[in-house]
Amino acid sequence: MKGTVSLETETAAAGLLEGIVVLDMSQFLSGPFAALRLADLGARVIKIERPDGGDLCRRLYLSDTEIGGDSTLFHAINRGKQSFAADFKNPADIAAVRALIARADVVIQNFRPGVIERLGLDYASASTLNPGIVYASITGYGSNGPWRSRPGQDLLAQARSGLMWLNGDADQGPVPFGLAVADLLAGNAIVQGILAALVRRGVKGRGAHVETSLLEALVDFQFEVLTTHLNDGGRIPQRSAFRNAHAYLSAPYGVYETADGWLAVAMTPLDTLGALLGLEEIVGLPADAAFRKRDGIKKVIADRLRTVPTAHWTAILEPADIWCAEVLDWPRLFASDGFKLLDMLQTVSRDDGVAIRTTSVPLRVDGARAHGALAAPRIGEHTEALRREFGLN
């Protein structure tokens, strides 16, 4: 924000974006995730929320766990932000938000197309107030077209993207990801656009409007397989009927049960793997057999791998440079030395006694990972302080 900031910033440790102020006018996951990543990089993020309930994500529960009156999901994606309560039906509050836009660096919003324009807080209005503003919009399916007004929800975007036909085995129907991949990928994409726009603003002094959608992010996510599909006669990918892990990759690519767990095996020459596993029947096969006969080959490998524990196989395969890995659950991941060295977990808290264990930024700068100290804010927690700071009263 332009000028001196008198209120102590409550974001993650100052970093690459120190001095950049973001107005997060978004809800749920995609926009707030983008704002979170900017906060992790040192930006000051002011979350604009309704005074009567705030971000709807506060009530979007992943389990029955509630912390400080809000869902763990809200805490995970809004840590380190300030909260400014504004009723968009109140002209005075709209005026206050416009005053904040006039002094901000970045605005993020994910309203349905048409809503932000009716509020008078769209890019055209914002750029009039602040020609240098970097304005980021996330929609479900773009701002135009027949799908523009349909709900921009993660599962629905996955359904329209074709992505579900890459997961699961061939005899299954469409299988969604077990994560909100559309939201998180769209958030990551918009962050890239925001950062590029900030660089251009620094060079040329101009703001920008960067846009993406859940559908665009999911199409981009599939760029490798879509490029293959578009250039090999439009053939539809065929999922393996047994332990499918990638519709386009041949045996042994997959996840296999062992006597005491599971083992993932990636791209590996069948001759080498067959020799190490004592499976002469998969040694010396024609080059195309690894795909053409992949289900049968994978079943042969599966029968062999399930006979002894995982550690037995990794002790044989890893020294031979076979690409494989034990499949870990979260407790075993957290207990591993490899994970501990990454220092990816942190505890954030706030002055009402709320403390939450969560992840940290997945980036290291000059060898160090920044850890924040502050949990997600209460609704409107910083409204009065921000009003005083910017003369909004």
CA atoms within 13 A on the CB side of 15: 23
Torsion of CA 170, 176, 181, 185, to 10 degrees: 50
Which SS3 state, helix, strand or coil, does residue 130 take? Answer: coil
Confidence of residue 179 (pLDDT cuts 50, 70, 90): very high
87 tagged catalytic: no
**Can 21-221+343-390 and 254-335 be said to share one CATH topology?**
no
Choose the catalytic residue: 105, 169, 183, 220. 183
pTM for this one? 0.93
| Per-residue pLDDT at 10 | 40
What mean pLDDT do residues 101-121 have? 97
What mean pLDDT do residues 104-119 have? 97
pLDDT digits (tens, 9 = 90+) for 278-304: 999 999 999 899 999 999 999 999 999
Fold held by 21-221+343-390: Rossmann fold (3.40.50)
Fold held by 254-335: formyl-coa transferase, domain 3 (3.30.1540)
Q: Would you say 71 and 375 are in contact if contact means Cβ atoms under 8 Å apart?
A: no
Of 109, 40, 33, nearest to 20 by C-alpha is 40
Using left for φ > 0, alpha for ψ between -120 and 50, and beta otherwise, residue 380 falls in left
What does R_g of the chain's alpha carbons equal in angstroms?
A: 25
Domain boundaries, the chain: 21-221+343-390, 254-335
Of 82, 93, 153, nearest to 121 by C-alpha is 93
pLDDT digits (tens, 9 = 90+) for 115-128: 999 999 999 999 99
What mean pLDDT do residues 102-123 have? 97
